[in-house]
A = this chain, B = another copy of it.
Amino acid sequence: MGRVTLQTIADRVGVSRMTVSNAFSRPDQLSASMRERILAVAEELGYVGPDPTARALANGSAGAVGLLMSDTLHYTLTDEVAMAFIAAISDELAPTGLALTLLSAAPRGEGIIPARDVAIDGALVYSCDMTSPAVGWLLRRQLPLVFVDQSPAPGITSINVDDRGGARAAADHVLTLGHRRIGIVTSGFGGDYGILDDPRTATLAFGESERMLGWLDALDASGVTPTVARIPHGDPHGVGYAGAEALLAAGEPPTAILAFSDAMAGGVIRAVEDKGLSVPGDVSIVGFDDNPIARTMRPALTTVRQDIDAKGRSAVQALTAAIERTKAQTGGGRAKHVLLPTSLVVRDSTAPVS
């Protein structure tokens, strides 16, 4: 027995296929009694409802949006901040009925490239390398896109966080506490590793670079030159640990360390304590993100808070708006560039220099 389609039901009931379609998709187009008859027969034949694929083709919308994340999907998926972002997205997406499809940027497979071959109505591009082929495909497909935590591109709506301002606030905070020997621990793909000679000229990823600029804004203004340790991307705890070790080994140890993320700050704390120093007694530490773990860490971590929920929600709103516009053929609708604020959250990992 072949598959049950609208036609199967139509034949059985003795009406046109269109009427059956209406019974499911536009109930106001037929009489209640007819609708009931049709639904009864459908039920009897085990028909679940119009086939999503066929429906998608006919009315030109897939019912899903894509989420493209960095090549290292695995790392991203074990990162609390990224997860909170996805959670916010899914919350905001739920009432729209759109599903969220994860697109891996690294097409390890043969010829199948999700960013090119998966049916979606639009996509969020989160913290990706612009030169990635996956981003290229999305652009070529002319899909509505929203860039998040990426270098804003002309014509494409972007949602960013004031990383620079937040980093500046973090550095100002330790400066105000009297610290002058300040270390920085950061991490990323490619570029230079180890103790950086000149962090201003180093090749850094977008977010990393913004935070670096913020830290340096404040430090330069006070005439302080930080020691910067940059570790290859990897497990954040390990990265933070290695970074702190490098800083503590390099000449006079810092009395304050600014970390690229809270996850890395956790490793920094551990390394400092393993060295026999106390936090914040001997070394003050500031993280970034206000990861949930920052609050449960011991000592509770001073950090720069970004509103991840707002980030996810704005991104979805911008995307759904763009999808609407595309559907309505309303051409323009200029790309917006949103910058969400950050704020310093002072907890127990920072103290005046002793």
Contacts and interface: CB of A to CB of B under 8 A. Distances in A.
Contacts of A97: 107, 109-114, 117
Interface in A29-81: 46, 48-49, 52-57, 60, 62-64, 66, 73-74, 77-78, 80
Nearest to A75: B87
A78 B77 CA distance: 10
Given A99-B102, A296-B270, A94 B117 contact: no
A137 interface: yes
Interface in A87-109: 87, 90-91, 93-97, 99-104, 106-109
A101 B101 contact: yes
A118 interface: yes
A307 to B, nearest CB: 15
Given A48-B116, A52-B118, A64 B296 contact: no
B296 A298 contact: no
Nearest to A56: B53
Copies of this protein chain in the complex: 2
A46 B137 CA distance: 12
Contact of A87 (B55, B73, B96, B103): B73
A86 interface: yes
Nearest to A80: B78
A23 B268 CA distance: 55
Contacts of A78: 80, 83-84, 87, 292
Contacts of A96: 109, 112
Interface residues of A, number: 61
Contacts of A54: 57
Given A95-B108, A118-B52, A270-B296, A77 B90 contact: yes
Nearest to A69: B90
A275 interface: no
Nearest to A96: B109
Nearest to A270: B296
B109 A95 contact: yes
A119 interface: yes
A266 B296 contact: yes
Nearest to A67: B102
A109 B94 contact: yes
Nearest to A87: B77
Nearest to A298: B298
A141 interface: yes
B53 A57 contact: yes
Nearest to A118: B99
A334 interface: no
Interface of A: 46, 48-49, 52-57, 60, 62-64, 66, 73-74, 77-78, 80, 83-84, 86-87, 90-91, 93-97, 99-104, 106-114, 116-120, 137, 140-142, 237, 266, 270, 292-293, 296, 298
19 contacts: A52-B118, A56-B56, A57-B57, A62-B119, A63-B112, A63-B117, A63-B118, A63-B119, A73-B87, A73-B90, A77-B83, A77-B86, A80-B80, A94-B104, A94-B108, A97-B109, A101-B101, A101-B102, A237-B296
Given A52-B119, A78-B83, 4 more contacts: A94-B104, A97-B110, A97-B112, A293-B293
- 10 smallest CB-CB distances across A and B, nearest first, come from A97-B112, A77-B87, A97-B109, A52-B119, A53-B119, A101-B101, A100-B102, A99-B114, A99-B118, A94-B108
